[in-house]
Amino acid sequence: MVEVGRAHDRFEASIWMRQLEEQGIDVTAEKRGGWLRAMLYLGRVPYAVNVRSKDHEIALAYLKKHRFL
C-alpha cells in the first residue's frame, strides 16, 4: 500500500476513503501520530490514506481534482 495523502484527523480520512471507495479503489487508513500529538493538538491525530500502488495515480488525480488535497 502506498500513501496518497495525510488527512488532519479520522473524520477527514473517512471522507477521503468513502470518495475513493465509490470510485472502486481499495483504501486503508493508518494513524500517524501517538498519544503525545493527540494531547498537544486536542485529539487531532493525522491519518495516512493508503491505496494499492497500481491505483495511486488515479486516486491522487481524483483527490486533487475534487480539491481534497
Residue 51 sits in a domain whose CATH number is: 3.30.70
pLDDT digits (tens, 9 = 90+) for 14-46: 999 999 999 999 999 999 988 888 888 888 899
Average pLDDT over every residue of 4-12: 94
CB–CB of 31/45 below 8 Å? yes
Domain of residue 27, residue span: 2-65
Number of folded domains that form the chain = 1
CB–CB of 46/33 below 8 Å? yes
Predicted local confidence at residue 40, as pLDDT: 86
Predicted local confidence at residue 33, as pLDDT: 85
